[in-house]
Structure 1
Amino acid sequence: MGQRLALASTTTSEDQLVQRPATADVDSPWSSYGSTIRSISYPQEVGWSAWLRRSGGTTPGSSVPSSCTDGSRPSSSASSWGSGAAGFNAIKANELRLIGRRMVHDGHLQALTREFLGGGNSVLREWFTELDVDWVLMMTEDMPWRAERTVVHDRARRWIRGFTTMAHAFLAMRSDLRHAVEGANVQELQLGGFASASISKMMLFVDGVIANVDWTPENLPAALDVYVCISDATASSRDQASSTAQQIVLSMYGGAADHAGLVTSKRRRLSAAIHRAMRSLSVDYYGDGGACGAPRGSEVHTATQYTMDFVRLLWRNAGLASSVLEDDGGGNVVLLASDVMRRWEFSLASASMLLPDAALRCVFLLNNYDTMAEAFPDSGLQDEIGRCVERYLDAAWAPVLSCLHGATAWHSPPSVKLADFTARFWRTYDAQKLWRVRSPALRGRLRRAVADLVVSAYAMYLKEHPLRDMGSIMAPEEMEEMLNELFEG
């Protein structure tokens, strides 16, 4: 099932599962098999959501303003990205394999296969209810399925769990039939019909979950993991047996060629959905200057955080996402993320113009650019951050220093110059002390830049223009200590 992660839990041994007495009845949809499958839970705080917190991104629960209803972003839960591929890959696939084998060992799957010839849909309903995916039977090719993100992710997890069990059950029965002395041909035909009907129904959900990426980009983790289940895109040598099981089961659906075509079709749909999601995130979000677009002072814009969460998601799953994109000539994650970064940088520049103060505009951009560079270190934004720091110094502190060296102060005595400088320094300091810079590293960089410019110029001026009464003048060391309180918010 791809690159599976270990999950700390109570281990169920193979002997316990295979030798467990057969309590399942073909007429009992809520059999012990179904109960056992549903009891296999997914880990909490594993994968994408936990990794996001460690990386400094937003966590589930943050929100975009409710006025953002243009369809490109959700009106709430701006970065509830779910657990992502890594979280889904922590599923206890081995226990599901053992459940599938027990179905065959107990003769339960054989009974369902025989009943299918006469029961048809009723047997499928019973089978899918056991696998906890009975809702799949209500899906059709021509019926669009749109659901809330939490529903999509929940059903994707249940689908992966059900498909994994189904795959290993069919594979185990096929293996047994190869060693059967008599009746194998008839049972092989019965199994082929039942498997084909089951898998064709299961494939409807693959298209459905991919389509939901168009509605909400946050559904991409679910779509990636469902795709992994029908391909060997991320199979490691350790998981080769699981990947082989998937391919064999899918080949029962229509042969190896049809399996390859099916995977290619889903990959192309997923690639197109990723591109559409990226385009929706790259739209100029601030064009009308409405409530959704206006920056809130120097703070990182919620839309920036949301977009970078998506970039982190792609970066976290770069191997799988790139394999989906590159096969169809759609580039790779690096190129796609770089394009989004360039477009978003332009959008942020437009957004900053809604702020009234040039220095505040610079700090807003620095906060947002730093967040972007953190999400995508190869973005090339470090040079732009450096230029933005210089623009900030020119906008915020050059006017303060002009009181000492500016043309208007040229003929003023030193005491007047220092008084004007001190007054302007305090106004600037009082305002910018309330501006917030999120990153400690960026905050420290800005403080050092201000001190290097202002304190050094101030100290030099005092040295060149000593006054008789120095008691009423702020010492350079005191000024530097004060500047270390800037940008606390």
Structure 2
Amino acid sequence: MAIASVWRGAWIRSRVFSSAPPRAAAAGDVDGGGGLLQPTYCESSTSASGTTTTVTKSSDSAEDRPRAFNSSMVLPTAPVVEENVEELDVGKVIEEGWVRKLEHLKGLVMEFRDGNNLGALEKWLSELDVGWVLHESKIDESAGSIRIWQQFHFFAESWILALQDINESISRCFDVWCSQDRDEGTSKKPLASEFALLVEATMLKMLPFVDAIIAAAARTSDRPEAAAAAEKLQVLIDVSDALSMASEQILSSLFSSSPCVQSTGGTMRENVSTELAKLDEAMWNTMVDMMTGTAAWTAEDNGHPCGSSDIHKVTRSIISYTKVLWANYWSLDRILDDAYLRGEFKHDNESVSHLTNLIMEMVHSTEDKLASKSKSWFADQSLRFLFLINNSYFMLRLVDFPMPVLTRRIDDYINGYLLVSWEPVMKCLCDPATPCCFTRHLPMTEFQSKFHKTYAAQKLWKVPDPAMRKMLRKAIVEKVIPVSTQFLEDSSISTPGVTPKKLEEMLGELFEG
């Protein structure tokens, strides 16, 4: 399989930022305007006199804006054939296209070798539609939070697409180059080592954008939501993965081809390692922000919506974050392992991995805080227990591994709900000392009155998960129906106001929201 195919298969993955449209500025945001904002970037250029100029540009400038992936710039277009399409050797046409591209590239390599370094780079990258990477870019420090957030996404996505184009062109052209060397000998000019110098210069021009991405990520720290932290972490992971895979493929294919080529790859290898280390640090800092910010976000919450047992926004945010952690298990567990060795991350549960331990701590901490805060949020204890059941079960269902402590707490919450909600309803039938039980009909009348009152209050309470909704209904039925049926039999009441079957049907309508 060609190296370019391996790269494409590895790189095309789900990215948090790739499916989201640009965000509109909220009313009162520091950027103002309320409309869709285009990211900006600063372009630095150095004149012949040595003066450095920084110009702020909007990304909607057609001249310098990083463009979306353009497949026609990577793969040659096959000629149109009106008839006998089945006889066309598509592979041969594509290979011939890459041969033509390689011959053109060899001319640029010779131009680069002869001293026109920047000119050769500009021609090659402009033909790939990624010439903008030659302009050093920095975030606009004066921008507001939303605009900086957009710049962060803009830099990262544009850079990854450009790296994909460059890597594929390098890999395919070098495959053809090596094939020609095998067929025609190694005396053809220019040398592979000279091509390697052009590649190294290109990659060194790409790396400053990593610093710009990291700087933009650092400036988004004033966005405390866990969902925003998860999104930022995923973007940094995507950039790190793209750089790691592309550099590994380029280094393994190009700089390992011969001893003379190997000697030219040292600077690139060293600089790539430095940028990957910076990305690791940025990812660790994002995880630290997430861990230390959970308590603050919960404490700053202004209260839960009155009368709602639905999933809290903090719960949803934490789960969004843990999904990103779990989806990138090996990369992040390695970063946590390094932090553990530095003494910056404590890990008390030696039976699980660093990342699993972190997720468990995050979930347990969130559940503890919601349990504590809910005491002031809910006057109705039945509704409070239902809220805790919903949120705890939501986390347990989505963490993708067993959490016995959380499972036990959910069982406790269910028992607590039954105790405060349905135990008073059953008390009349179970306690013969209750004053209302002087005749055989009075307890049943009192029971049905309390049943209808509780049912009416809770019918529209919400349990969003179907499995938990079914579980709760079953628990209520098992508590209520056998006792009421037994009371009817013991009291020889043949015509109750509402039969046990009807009561069970009514309980089956609870918690639809």
TM-score normalised per structure 1: 0.69
Tell me, yes or no, if structure 1 residue 188 matches structure 2 residue 193. Answer: yes
Identical counterparts, % of pairs = 23
Contact 2:459–2:511 (CA under 8 A) maintained in structure 1 = yes
Give, in whole Å, the separation in 1 of the partners of 2:367 and 2:96: 51
The runs of 5 or more residues in structure 2 that have no matched partner are 30-35, 37-70, 77-93, 142-146, 221-227, 346-352
1:436 matched to 2:459? The reply is no
Q: 3-state SS of the aligned residue for 2:297?
A: coil
Give the C-alpha shift of residue 177 in structure 1.
7.7
- Name which of 165, 168, 171 aligns with 2:168: 165
Deviation per residue, 1:140-190 (Å, 9 max, x gap) = 5798794427535632541342342254267458847895326556x735x
> 2:106 is matched by which residue type in structure 1?
Q
**Which one-letter code corresponds to 2:124 in the other structure?**
W
Aligned to 1:358: 381
Match among 415, 419, 423 for residue 449 of structure 2: 423
- Structure 1 residues 232 and 439 mapped into 2: Cα distance closer, same or farther (>3 Å)? same
Matched position secondary structure for 1:282 = helix
The answer to whether the aligner puts 1:268 opposite 2:280 as a matched pair is yes
- Where does residue 475 of structure 2 map in the other structure? 449
Q: Aligned pair in 2 of structure 1 residues 464, 243: CA closer, same or farther (>3 Å)?
A: farther
Q: Deviations over 1:375-419 (max 9, x none)?
A: 113233222211111111112112222333459824642433322
For 2:207, what is the secondary structure of its paired residue?
Answer: helix
Q: Which residue of 2 aligns with 1:129?
A: 126
1:462 maps to 488
TM-score by length of 2: 0.66
Match of 1:300 in 2: 311
Question: Would you say how many aligned residue pairs link Structure 1 and Structure 2?
Answer: 410
CA distance, structure 2, for counterparts of residue 403 and residue 419 of structure 1: 10
In structure 2, how many angstroms separate the alpha carbons of the residues matched to 1:305 and 1:460? 43
2:171–2:253 CA contact under 8 A, matched in 1:
yes
Q: Is the 8 A contact 2:210 2:275 kept in 1?
A: no
* C-alpha displacement of 1:225: 2.7
User: What's 1:230 paired with?
Assistant: 243
The amino acid that maps onto 2:505 is E
Question: Which structure 2 residues correspond to residues 256-405 of structure 1 after superposition, within 5 A?
Answer: 258=270, 261-262=273-274, 265-266=277-278, 268-279=280-291, 282-290=294-302, 294=305, 297-329=308-340, 332-353=354-375, 354-378=377-401, 379-380=403-404, 381-405=406-430
CA shift at 1:446, angstroms?
Answer: 0.2
Asked if 2 retains the 8 angstrom alpha-carbon contact of 1:429 and 1:486, the reply is yes
Does structure 2 conserve the Cα–Cα contact (< 8 Å) formed by 1:227 and 1:266?
no
Contact 1:212–1:219, Cα closer than 8 Å, also in 2: no
Deviations 1:178-217 (Å, cap 9, x if unpaired)?
Answer: 95326556x735x454333321221223344455555343
Task: Measure, in 1, the Cα distance between the counterparts of 2:130 and 2:100.
Answer: 20
Query: RCO higher in 1 or 2 (8 Å CA, sep ≥ 6)?
Result: 1
Name the aligned partner's letter for residue 301 of structure 1. Answer: H
Q: Which residue does the alignment assign to 2:109?
A: 113
- Preserved contact between residue 455 and residue 479 of structure 1 (Cα < 8 Å): yes
Residue 434 (structure 1) shift? 0.3
Which of 500, 506, 511 does residue 476 from structure 1 map onto? 500
Equivalent residues of 2:125, 2:131 under 8 A apart: yes
| Letter aligned with residue 483 of structure 2 | A
Secondary structure of the residue that 1:435 maps to in structure 2?
A: coil
Distance 2:417 2:300 in 1: 26
Structure 1, unpaired ranges of 5+? 8-41, 50-58, 70-75, 77-90
C-alpha distance in 2 between matches for 1:336 and 1:250: 41
Q: CA RMSD in A?
A: 4.4
1:99 is displaced (CA, Å) by 9.2
Deviations along 1:83-128, one digit per CA (max 9) or x if unpaired, are: xxxxxxxx99x969x8999277532323333444654445444433
User: In 2 relative to 1, CA 475–142 (structure 1 residues): closer, same or farther, beyond 3 Å?
Assistant: closer
Offset at residue 486 of structure 1 (A): 0.7
Offset of 1:483 from its aligned partner?
Answer: 0.5
**Structure-2 change in CA distance of 1:307 and 1:136 (3 Å):** farther
What are the superposed Cα offsets for residues 349-379 of structure 1, whole Å, 9 maximum, x if unpaired? 2342312211111111111112111211323
